[in-house]
Amino acid sequence: MNEKATDPTNIPDNGDQFEALFTNATIGIIVTNQKGAIVNFNKHAESQFVYTKEEVIGSTVDILVPSHSHSHHHKLREDYYHHPGPRRMGEGRDLYGRRKNGTEFPVEVSLCTYRIHHEMFVIAFVIDITVRKKSESLVLEQKAELEKITAQIKKLNIELEQKVEYRTKMLRETLTELEKSKEELSASLEKEKELNELKSRFVTTASHEFRTPLSTILSSSFLLEKYNDLNEPAKREKHIHRIKNAVADMKSILEDFLSLGKLEEGLIRINVEQVNSDELFYEIQNIVSEMESLAKKGQHISFTHSGEDSIHIDPLLFKNIMINLISNAIKFSPENEVIEIDCKINTEKLEVSVKDKGIGISEEDQQHLFQRFFRAKNAVNIQGTGLGLHIVAKYLELMHGHIEIKSILNEGTVFTFTIPQQKSINKNEEDFSY
């Protein structure tokens, strides 16, 4: 234990102690009188302002303040004398001290007063805050730099997000397109497959259906040869008729197939024309006469019509529809029966019905009549490919028409089709393909 230090007899008197405190304080201490003249200046203040005590004693404190702050400093000093007390100086703003060589340095100053014999003295405690300021401004600089970098990162991030969004969008579009072309490809492959199936099915059906007319042609040709020698014109006539019918059958099978192929590939061209009632009835009468020559023994085709107007139709498609329906009526009804054709025309539509007293069609089979290759159960032993009605329905669709059926098994069948007046069809639309 240091006995000297604790021995109260060794402690210097108060004056010495305060002198030592004043001299050795690690803070600048400046004492001024009421006029602002420096009356004391400690060692640390000497090193801060690079003045010796002797140089500043008696001078106004202004020599330690930057000249640009003088007027402000005077005012503050005056205020302080009126309201003295301990306080920090320059609250909220930066304060600077001025060295002897004119350079400035940042300071923090606390003030307090004391009085001796009515005279007031002000003590200023001065701390050089150069290092703190430097580190503060360094922090500020770093903060600003950080903010700049953060802003750049944010910007980059936004750009990146936009790029990602754009790429994702592009990718999605590409995927959609890919999906679409995949679907298109598989749809066209499906169509191709369907067409191939259709063709091979037709070849099978046609080969089968060709057999009957071909053997008819063959046998009738043999017999023709024979009757030619025997000079029997009636029998020859009969066989020529049979050959003609057989050839017509084969021709119609081929025509059906060609029509179907074109329909499936969307190659049927529709040529709508304005046809007036007289022309139309005349055309139907011609078809009836043509078909009657192919009818069975004793079958008769009656034709009635009513109304007067003109209608927009494709005459070729119309003729084909009529031939299909009449040939069905002939084929599926017995000898000596009447087939009735009725045609009505008015401002709204054309309506044609083909009625026979033939084998009829069951209700169940009626549901599938217009499907390709469909043949009713009671028709399996009667020649046919099952394409006629499908083509009829497609042709009517092209002319915006439709077809209905009424049939009772073993009693007969009525097919009625209508084609609406298409006043809206103008010249430009008359020729288009589906």
Ligand X SMILES: Nc1ncnc2c1ncn2[C@@H]1O[C@H](COP(=O)(O)OP(=O)(O)OP(=O)(O)O)[C@@H](O)[C@H]1O
Give the residues lining the site for Mg ion (CB under 5 A). 328, 388
> According to the binding rule CB under 6 A, does residue 202 interact with ligand X?
no
Please identify, among the stretches 4-12, 117-125, 129-137, 378-386, the one whose residues bind ligand X according to the rule CB under 6 A. 378-386
> According to the binding rule CB under 6 A, does residue 339 interact with ligand X?
no
153-172 residues in contact with ligand X (CB under 6 A) are none
**Within the chain, how many helices (H) and strands (E) appear?**
11, 15
> According to the binding rule CB under 6 A, does residue 399 interact with ligand X?
no
CB of 291 to Mg ion, least distance (A): 12
Q: 259 is in the binding site of which of ligand X, Mg ion, none (Cβ under 5 to 8 A by kind)?
A: none
Q: Tell me the C-alpha distance between 31 and 18, whole Å.
A: 14
> According to the binding rule CB under 6 A, does residue 328 interact with ligand X?
yes
CB of 340 to Mg ion, least distance (A): 18
Nearer to ligand X, 301 or 376 (CB): 376
Count Cα atoms within 13 angstroms, Cβ side, for 237.
Answer: 3
* From 202, 388, 401, 421, residue interacting with ligand X (rule: CB under 6 A): 388
DSSP 117: T
> According to the binding rule CB under 6 A, does residue 128 interact with ligand X?
no
Nearer to ligand X, 55 or 351 (CB): 351
SS3 (DSSP) at 359: coil
CB of 294 to ligand X, least distance (A): 13
Q: 376 is in the binding site of which of Mg ion, ligand X, none (Cβ under 5 to 8 A by kind)?
A: ligand X
Query: Quick one: CA torsion of 46, 49, 51, 53, rounded to 10 degrees?
Result: -40
Orientation angle between helical segments 130-230 and 233-264, nearest 10 degrees: 180
CB of 372 to ligand X, least distance (A): 9
Q: How many CB atoms lie within 10 A of CB 403?
A: 19
Asked if 405 and 415 touch (Cβ cutoff 8 Å), the reply is yes
Query: Which structure tokens are listed for 392?
Result: 């009829």
355: region left, alpha or beta (phi > 0 left; psi from -120 to 50 alpha): beta
CB of 401 to ligand X, least distance (A): 17
One-letter identity of residue 242: R
DSSP 267: -
> According to the binding rule CB under 6 A, does residue 356 interact with ligand X?
yes
From residue 247, alpha-carbon distances to 55, 124, 259, 294, 387 in Å are 143, 134, 18, 11, 18
Nearer to ligand X, 31 or 268 (CB): 268
> According to the binding rule CB under 6 A, does residue 246 interact with ligand X?
no
CB of 172 to ligand X, least distance (A): 48
Please identify, among the stretches 15-23, 32-40, 109-117, 383-391, the one whose residues bind ligand X according to the rule CB under 6 A. 383-391
> According to the binding rule CB under 6 A, does residue 379 interact with ligand X?
yes
Please identify, among the stretches 103-111, 307-315, 369-377, 396-404, the one whose residues bind ligand X according to the rule CB under 6 A. 369-377
SS3 (DSSP) at 6: helix
The alpha helices in 231-275, defined as continuous H runs, are 233-264
CB of 314 to Mg ion, least distance (A): 20
* From 389, 396, 403, 419, residue interacting with ligand X (rule: CB under 6 A): 389
Nearer to ligand X, 38 or 329 (CB): 329
CB of 359 to ligand X, least distance (A): 5
> According to the binding rule CB under 6 A, does residue 213 interact with ligand X?
no
248-307 residues in contact with ligand X (CB under 6 A) are 256
Query: Which structure tokens are listed for 217?
Result: 């042609």
CB of 321 to ligand X, least distance (A): 11
CB of 311 to ligand X, least distance (A): 24
One-letter identity of residue 257: F
Nearer to ligand X, 53 or 357 (CB): 357
* From 202, 332, 395, 417, residue interacting with ligand X (rule: CB under 6 A): 332
> According to the binding rule CB under 6 A, does residue 413 interact with ligand X?
yes
Q: Tell me the C-alpha distance between 78 and 72, whole Å.
A: 10
Q: 299 is in the binding site of which of ligand X, Mg ion, none (Cβ under 5 to 8 A by kind)?
A: none
Nearer to Mg ion, 28 or 388 (CB): 388
Orientation angle between helical segments 277-292 and 315-331, nearest 10 degrees: 40
Asked if 327 and 348 touch (Cβ cutoff 8 Å), the reply is no
Q: Which residues bind ligand X (CB under 6 A)?
A: 256, 324, 328-329, 332, 356, 358-361, 369, 374-376, 379, 384-390, 413
